[in-house]
Amino acid sequence: MRAGPELALKSQQDSAGSDDALTKLGTAFAPGATSLFSGRCADAAPHLEACIELYRNMQDKSGLAVFGQDPGLSSLPYLAWARWLLGLPDQAAALSEEAFGLPATSVSRCS
C-alpha cells in the first residue's frame, strides 16, 4: 500500500527540473491523489493545491488529453474531499463550487 505514494513522490522529484507544464501537472497530481486515496488527507492537500495552481497558470491545456482525465479538474474535487475530511467544510464547499463551473469551459472535453 505504501508503494503508490512513494512512487508518486519519486516521479515528482524526478521531474522537478522539467520545464514541461504537462509533466509538472501530472507529477503534482499523482502524490496528491495517492495520498488522498490512502487516507492521508493532510499529505494530499499541498500536492493537490500545487496541481491546481499549475493548472490555473497553464496557457495551453490542449495536451491534457494524454492523461485520460484532466488532473487540474480532478484536483479540485479531490482537494474539496480532503478539506471536508480535515474538518474544513466551508473550504470544501468553495472548491466544489469552482469544480462544478470548470468542465463547461474545459478544452479537454471528449468530442
We report the CATH number of the domain holding residue 54 as 1.25.40
Choice between 8 and 104, residue whose per-residue pLDDT is larger:
8
Tell which residue, 71, 68, 45, has the closest CA to residue 58: 71
Number of separate domains in the chain: 1
Highest mean pLDDT among 5-9, 83-87, 105-109: 83-87
The verdict on residue 82 lying in a domain is yes
Give mean pLDDT, residues 70-97.
93
Q: Where are the beta strands (DSSP E) in the chain?
A: none
pLDDT at residue 36 in the model: 94
The verdict on residue 16 lying in a domain is yes
The verdict on residue 111 lying in a domain is no
**Residues belonging to the chain:** 111
pLDDT at residue 93 in the model: 95
The verdict on residue 63 lying in a domain is yes
Range of the structural domain that residue 89 is part of? 3-105
Q: pTM, whole model, 2 decimals? A: 0.78
15: pLDDT strictly greater than 70: no
Distance CA 75, CA 29 (A): 7
The verdict on residue 110 lying in a domain is no
Dihedral over Cα of 10, 68, 57, 21: its sign: positive
